[in-house]
Amino acid sequence: MKMNLPFPVELLEKLACPACAHRPPLRWQECLLVCAACHRAYPVRDGIPVLLVEESTKWEPPPTEPSPEEHS
Ligand SMILES: [Zn+2]
């Protein structure tokens, strides 16, 4: 799977959601850093993740996810 990260993947492992107390790791999703816990999406500008709550947008997962193998 190709992620097309604009920054090193090691950085992604260090990033955490600033809005969540337990700082869950962020997911890279469609050019945004998405927090799975609070569903905030943080932008990346010029390769720099903007981890500011006021800069975040509400992440809404697509209603129909085209994933071939979905386990419930
Ligand atoms: Zn969060």
CA distance 49 to 65: 25
Ligand 1 mean position, distance from CA 66 (Å): 24
Ligand 1 mean position, distance from CA 69 (Å): 26
What is the pTM assigned to this prediction?
0.77
pLDDT digits (tens, 9 = 90+) for 16-71: 999 998 888 899 988 999 999 999 999 999 989 999 999 999 998 778 766 677 66
Ligand 1 mean position, distance from CA 71 (Å): 24
Q: Which two tokens stand for residue 8?
A: 């090193």
Ligand 1 mean position, distance from CA 47 (Å): 20
Ligand 1 mean position, distance from CA 26 (Å): 8
Q: In this structure, which topology does domain 9-58 adopt according to CATH?
A: N-terminal domain of TfIIb (2.20.25)
How many residues does this entry show for the chain? 72
Ordered by start, the domain boundaries in the chain are 9-58
DSSP structure class, residue 40 = E
CA distance 21 to 56: 16
